[in-house]
Every structure is written in structure tokens, then in C-alpha cells.
Amino acid sequence: MIRITDILDKIYDYNPGGDSDIIDRAYIYSAKAHEGQMRLSGEPYLSHPLEVANILADMRLDVESIAAALLHDVIEDTAATREDIENMFGPGVAHIVSGVTKLSGLSFSTKIAYQAESLRKMILAMADDIRVVLIKLADRIHNMRTLKYHGKPEKQVAIAQETLDIYAPIAARLGIFWIKYELEEIAFYYTLREDYERIDALVNKAKDEKENHIKEVRAALHEKMEEMDLKCEIKGRYKQHYSIYQKMISQDLDFEEVYDIIAFRIILDTIPQCYAAMGAIHSHSTWKPIYYKIKDYIGNPKPNMYRSIHTTVMGPKGERVEIQIRTHDMDRIAESGIAAHWSYKEGTKTDETTGELFAWISKLVENQESYNDPDEFLENVRIDLYPDEIYVFTPQGEIKTLPKKATPVDFAYMIHTEVGAQCTGAKVNGKIVQLTHKLNTGDTVEIITTKNHTPSPDWLNFVKTVKARTKIRAWINAKERERSYSLGREMCEKTFKKKNQNFNALIKSGQIKKVAETFGFKSIGDLIAHVGFGKLTPLQVLNKALPEFEKQEAKEDSILQKVVGRRKKKESTGIIVKGLDDILVRFSKCCNPLPGERITGYITQGQGVTIHRKGCLNVMKMSKERQIEVEWSGSFSESYPASIKVETDDRFGLLADIASVISKYKSNILNAKSETRDSGLGLFYFTFLVESSDQLLKIMSDIRKVKKVIDVKRIIQIE
């Protein structure tokens, strides 16, 4: 465990004149406040704030930040209050600790609502003091490093997914890439274990083959730099697993087609030396530069302050080599980002340049103030966190800033909501383009509108701005609500009539209004629409309005249960649907979810709830109004089909060896087939029953260890 003396030694090295007294006092206060508390790892709770403070000391932050790190959990997890912290450590430390503290003492309808409001609170606090988010990132790093101690896999996955969605992008936006990479790697392991293990196995195999290649390239670079009298440091590094995975997915590549698994970095003293080094590399007799791959981030820095030259050359054997060239200062900033500027000398003040670069935080606050739906808020934060921007012109020459890959529809909504809704076409630089056209910096955009035209749900598949997405979704939801209200009213009237009750009369009497309030709706219309959506049943409304019917139903259920065991039907799916009883549940064939994976439900009228994996592409296109919270039943054990593809070098007895691995886990094989390519590559396809995603991962991991197996992938189903 890190000791306070280790932290003080680090601070003394970079800030010998710093006030260590505040850190001593914060350590003693935290130790007393957390006394008797333990981490899930079995360590004293104090180990966590010490680790967080140590990370900030490595980032060379000021003493106020280190003190706040030691105290960051005391308001949330102990009897201490903000007033206590302010009285003992001053308003600066109290503000940071309060900003890092998650919401407590308030009730929220869902975990997503709680997560959204905690994030909103943090964003507002970091707009005042960026150190709030630096501590939050250090806190998340240590929590991710100890995530294995969370017993429940679904909890691990949820925390890891939040990390990928929110905290890794924030670290990237702040330019703190070492945090971004570490968060992504750990989160990748927990969210997509099978993909992580597959890439890990492939990278380890590739490392053995590429060691000589790395030595050859490094030697060639050293020779060329010495020839030009350029003193430098040369590093060769393997690309992170998550970066490889993203490239494979976004560009539809096989592992062997990802050429930049290894990247080389040349670090020099001055900017002129960087350009001289690039010229030297391009003049190498056996390397040919790929000119469209040259990126000069020294002349045109990224918004997060990243500066470097990137170039890619083609080697003598047709292999591509990616090289980054930068100064020592640029290398430090590339790793530390804003933390390199937010040193112990600067306290809470940023220079003008840094303030301008991070004006996006204020914009983030402005964009999120009006969103009440937690799902929408979280989605919009994710969109806002990605920094690449383009600059386009209106026909009048006014500049508009849009995210990279934005379309004419995004531009139209930026002009005005009505222009966006009535957009039917666009001209870019005088030529008519499709609405899906990706705009580029310097384009002049003219929007063609048609009166009374309405947005298309398909636009959600390609728009990139928060405003466009929000306005389109609002229009869709309004239309969905109209239809669902009509359907819900009809369903309620029929159900009530069957029970000899008049639904409209109960509305007039005020009884249904009371029911709406009981369920937490602002109006009767919202209640009826939710019945139409399928999120409530007419019978639930009736039972709340007239409790005597609920008692009668319970009595009838008890009799039926004794006769036919009717109640057991609900449990047979292994799925719990929030707020709905005895509803038909079926599993989607597009993603084949397994216990242990994060899931969501989609309400289909007349066909119950369809269960999908979260992140399924089909779910992303569905109306949010019809999505419903579902979870696996913890007390249920059933087997579900899973399919895999195994790539191998062909050898005798291989099929039997793979089948024996599956049988070892007592999984029943439902289907198996094989084929051999002309190249000698063997392909085996299996569908078998498993009880959880964890069991599937163990089977796949063991199959990878079988001699001559090259790769194992999960697939949706065997054709």
C-alpha cells in the first residue's frame, strides 16, 4: 500500500516550497473518517484515497488538489459534511471534494437517472475548477485497477461500460492519454472479454514474429538520425488492444490487415529538428512515404493540445511503418494533456490559451441544461465529448462549427429547428448532394427546404450533432405518443368494460388522475400513453383505481396456481421485466444475448418484449420510448445457444480435440460443421448450449490453447 511519506517525497521533488501541512492534516482527517471501513479487496479503505493522491502527485498537481484527493470520499462515505471540510481546509478544497462527490440522500427512479445526475453535477463543478475532473479520473483509474474484486460480473460490466462511454473520452478530450489508454484497456477486458482475449492471443503470437522487425526498424531510424546529426530518443510500442479492436471494427479488417500494430516514436529537442527528422525518414533509400498519411499536428495542433508529426512509410517488404515525431515537451503534453499546464505553480488559474482550448466545458454545460431524459442526457454527453471539428460556411459567408462527419441535416438544424425539419435537399459548393453527405472544412452549404415536410426517423442513423438528434427524436416521440395514446385509451376502455367499469367515468371522477400520480406521471395522458407503449397494462391501472379488483385477481390466481401452476410460467424465461408481470418474453436472433451480458428490452405490440444485448445495432435504431429495463433473474439456471467460428491450420484429430473442450464444460453441441480452404486454413463452426457468457468465454479461451488453433470468434449463428 502507498504511504503518505511516498506522496510527500514526490511533492517535495517537484514543489519543494509547497505547503505540506494541509496534506498532513488531510491524511489524518481521512484516516479517522474512514477508520474501520474496508475495500472489497480486503484492504483498509484509506488505501484508496492514498492511491488517488499518489496518481495526482505523479501528475505533479498542487497541494490543494492532493489534499482534496485524500478527502474525496469523506462527504459521500462518512459523517463529514462540506461545511466541516471548508472550515478545516478552506473553500478551494471543499469545492473540489463536493464536485467529486456523487449524489446521495436523493431517490431516483432508475440507476441511469442516478448516473446522469451525478455526471451532470460533476460537469457543472469541473466548469468552475478542472481539478474536479482530474481527481475523478484518478479515482476511476484506481477503481478500474481493483474492479476484479467486484463479485458480480454484471456490476463489473456496468462500471466498465460507463468508463468507456464517459471517462475515457473525457481523458482524451483533456489530452491525458495514459489515463485514456489504461481505462480503455481494462474496460475492454470486462465489457468484451471474448474480443479482448482473442486480440490478446493474436498480439502475443505477433510479438514473437515482430521482435526482429522492431530491432531492424529502430536500427535503421538510429542510423538515419545519426547521419543527420539529430540527437534523439527512439521508442517502439505496440498498439493497445482496444485501439486494434476499434480499427478492426470501424474499417472491417482482419487482424492481419491492421498494419500499425507497432508504432515508432522519435523524440527530439526542437521543432526544426522534428521537420528535419521527417525529411530524413522520407529520404531513406528503402522506404517510400505514403503522402496522404502525413499529418502535421505541430503546425495544426489538436484541440486537446496534442502536437506531433505522424508519417507512414512503406518498407522494402511491403510492410507499413507508422512513425510519430515530436519534441520532449510535446511528448510530456501528449501523455499529461491539461495536467501538464495545471501544475502546482498555477493553482486554480489557467492561462488564456488553455482557457480557450477548454471552452468546450462551458459549451458542454450549456448543451445539457435542458435535457430531462437521463438516457438522452448521457447520449448527448458522449457525443459532445468527441473533439474533432470542421468549419463550414453559409451562403452568406458565416462560419459554422460542426463535428467531424457532420451532414447537411446537422447544418440545417444548426441554422434553425424548422429549417432542419423541412430539409429535403442540400447543395455543397454549388452541387446537389445527398443528405447523408459528409461535410468537410471549407465547404459552403445551402439547404433546400419544403414547406410542411417532417423529419425522417432514418436521419438518426447519420446525424452527428446533439441538436439534430434531440430535435428529430422529439418529433418521433411526439408521433409515437399520439399513436400510443389512442391505442392505450382503447385498451383501457375495453379492459374496464370487461370488468363492468366505465373508464371515462373514472377519469371524470378524478380516480384515474390519482392513479397517474401514484405511478409518478404528471398527467392522465402520460399514463394512457404508457399503456399504449406497453410499459403498463390496463389491468394494473384498474387494480390501482379499484383495489377490490386486485384482491379478487389475487384470489383467482391462488386458485389457478393450485390447479395448473400458472404462476411458474413467468419465471421460465430467466428474465425480469421492470414494471410488467406475466408478459411474453423472447430473445432476439440478431445478437443472441447470454446471462451475464448487459441487456435491454424492446416492447413490440402484441408480441411482448424482445431481449437484445446492449450495444446491438438494431437496438440503436429503435424508438427509446419502446425500450424497457430488463435484467437476468439471479435465481434461474437455463442453457442458451451460442455459436463460434474457429480458424486453424489443418491437422488430423483437430475436430475431436475442439469438441472435447466443449464437452469438458458439459455443453451440449447442437450443430457443427467444417470446411478447408485451398490455403490449408481450416474453419470450424459450432453451436452449443451454455449457461452464461462467462462459461462461453472459458470454452473459447481453452479452445485457443488447442494446438494449431489460430483464432476463435463468437458469431451470431451458423448459416
Between 567 and 45, the higher pLDDT residue = 45
DSSP state letters, 289-347: E-GGG-EETTTS--TT----EEEEEE-TTS-EEEEEEEEHHHHHHHHHTHHHHS-TTTT
Assess contact for 263 and 324: CB atoms under 8 A.
yes
Using only C-alpha atoms, the chain has a radius of gyration, in whole angstroms, of 29
Residue 271 in this model has a pLDDT that exceeds 90? yes
Dihedral sign, CA of 136, 402, 373, 535? negative
CATH homologous superfamily for 640-715? ACT domain (3.30.70.260)
DSSP state letters, 494-518: HHHHHTT--HHHHHHHTHHHHHHHH
Between 632 and 435, the higher pLDDT residue = 435
Return the number of other C-beta atoms located less than 10 Å from residue 104's C-beta. Answer: 10
Q: What is the mean pLDDT of residues 370-382?
A: 56
* Gap between the Cα atoms of 651 and 707, Å rounded: 9
DSSP state letters, 185-250: HHHHHHHSHHHHHHHHHHHHHHHHHHHHHHHHHHHHHHHHHHHTT---EEEEEEPPHHHHHHHHHH
* Gap between the Cα atoms of 585 and 601, Å rounded: 9
Between 83 and 258, the higher pLDDT residue = 83
Assess contact for 435 and 407: CB atoms under 8 A.
yes
Assess contact for 600 and 630: CB atoms under 8 A.
yes
459-464 contacts, C-beta under 8 A, 24 or more apart: 459/409, 459/435, 460/621, 461/621, 462/407, 462/409, 462/435, 462/436, 463/406, 463/407, 463/409, 463/410, 463/413, 464/383, 464/402, 464/403, 464/404, 464/405, 464/406, 464/407, 464/410
User: What does the pLDDT look like over 487-504, one tens digit per residue?
Assistant: 788 888 888 888 888 888
Assess contact for 199 and 254: CB atoms under 8 A.
no
Highest mean pLDDT among 29-38, 159-168, 381-390: 29-38
Return the number of other C-beta atoms located less than 10 Å from residue 420's C-beta. Answer: 26
In this structure, the chain runs to a length of 719
Grid coordinates representing 340?
501538464
What residues are paired with 682 via a beta bridge?
648, 676
Active site residues: 76-77
* Gap between the Cα atoms of 68 and 34, Å rounded: 15
Residue 353 in this model has a pLDDT that exceeds 70? no
Return the number of other C-beta atoms located less than 10 Å from residue 298's C-beta. Answer: 18
Return the number of other C-beta atoms located less than 10 Å from residue 631's C-beta. Answer: 14
Assess contact for 612 and 600: CB atoms under 8 A.
yes
Which among 113, 122, 120, 108 has a CA at the least distance from the CA of 72?
122
* Gap between the Cα atoms of 696 and 691, Å rounded: 8
* Gap between the Cα atoms of 542 and 492, Å rounded: 8
Residue 602 in this model has a pLDDT that exceeds 50? yes
Model pLDDT, residue 604: 74
DSSP state letters, 616-640: -HHHHTS-GGGEE-EEE-TT----E
User: Of the ranges 188-197, 344-353, 512-521, which one carries the lowest mean pLDDT score?
Assistant: 344-353
Residue 142 in this model has a pLDDT that exceeds 90? yes
Model pLDDT, residue 125: 60
User: What does the pLDDT look like over 558-594, one tens digit per residue?
Assistant: 554 554 444 444 445 678 776 555 567 888 888 888 8
Q: Write down the number of H helices and E strands in the chain.
A: 32, 21
Model pLDDT, residue 67: 93
Q: What is the mean pLDDT of residues 106-111?
A: 48
Q: What is the mean pLDDT of residues 667-678?
A: 84
Apex 322 CA angle, 317 and 326, nearest 5: 145
Domain spanning 4-176, CATH architecture? Orthogonal Bundle (1.10)
Would the pTM count as exceeding 0.85? no
Q: What is the mean pLDDT of residues 380-405?
A: 72
User: What does the pLDDT look like over 406-448, one tens digit per residue?
Assistant: 999 999 998 988 999 999 999 999 999 999 999 987 788 999 9
Domain range summary for the chain, segments of one domain joined by +: 4-176, 195-336, 473-564, 568-632, 640-715
Mean pLDDT of the chain: 80
Within 372-465, where are the H helices?
374-384, 408-415, 417-421
What residues are paired with 479 via a beta bridge?
none
Confidence of residue 320 (pLDDT cuts 50, 70, 90): confident
Grid coordinates representing 415?
441554422
Cα dist from 70 to 98, 128, 138, 179, whole Å: 13, 20, 11, 19
Eight-class DSSP state of 668: P
* Gap between the Cα atoms of 413 and 397, Å rounded: 18
Fold for 195-336, please state it: Beta Polymerase; domain 2 (3.30.460)
Between 632 and 426, the higher pLDDT residue = 426
